[in-house]
Every structure is written in C-alpha cells, then in structure tokens.
Amino acid sequence: SQTIHQWPATLVQPVGSPLSLECTVEGTSNPNLYWYRQAAGRGLQLLFYSVGIGQISSEVPQNLSASRPQDRQFILSSKKLLLSDSGFYLCAWSSGVVRPEAFFGQGTRLTVV
C-alpha cells in the first residue's frame, strides 16, 4: 500500500531563517506531488506541483521554492522566512487516471515569529 510521510509536524522559526520541509511517498512510482498551504483552517492554496523529477510548476509567486531530487521526494524551501509564511503546509500525491484522487500527509504547522 502507498503511504506518505511529511515532517516535522510542527515548527517554530524566527523571521529571516531558512526553511526545509520534506515529504516522501512510498509504494508507488512516478507520482504527481503537490504542496498546498492552508491559512487559518480554511481553503487550500496550491503552491507547487510536480509531475516528475526536476519538473516543478509554481502556482503563486511566493517566498518559497520546491524541489524534487528523487522520484518520491518533494521538498519545500525558503531562504528567508517572512511572518506571512506562517500556516499549515500539506503535501499530497496522486497518480494517473485510475486513481486521480490525491492523498495527503498529516501536515506541518509552521509558525514564524
């Protein structure tokens, strides 16, 4: 079966510090991978998605970047965090036509102070 791991669960970082959130998927190959951000317990904003290694699409200009160094690894980064980067970050994966639904990690609660 497929599983998705996202860590850490919570993170408190000072303004101006770097960020690295990691997400890995097991039990599938060549998944589509996604990073979403959820503010104040409401809607999901798509930040990045990737259809393959090294292929990253950015949906919204951000103080953030994403990388996919391996097939089942997706990393969200920032060189210098802003207060407005605080939120709940969710990684997800999906694959193909037969199973087009996305499956989510447990999320990372980021607080920038």
| Site residues for another protein per CB under 8 A | 6, 32, 34, 36, 41-44, 46, 49, 51, 57, 59, 88, 90, 92, 94, 96-97, 100-107, 109
> Nearer to another protein by C-beta: 10 or 18?
10
Q: Would you state the structure tokens that stand for residue 26, as one six-digit string? A: 């097991």
- The count of other CB atoms within 10 Å of the CB of residue 95 is 18
Cα(24)–Cα(37) distance, integer angstroms:
17
C-beta of 111: minimal distance to another protein in Å?
Answer: 13
- Is the CB of 2 or the CB of 84 nearer to another protein? 2
Measured distance CA(54)–CA(3) in Å, rounded: 22
Report, in Å, the least distance between residue 17 CB and another protein: 23
Query: In this complex, which beta carbon is closest to another protein, that of residue 58 or of residue 65?
Result: 58
Distance of alpha carbon 81 from alpha carbon 6, whole angstroms: 19
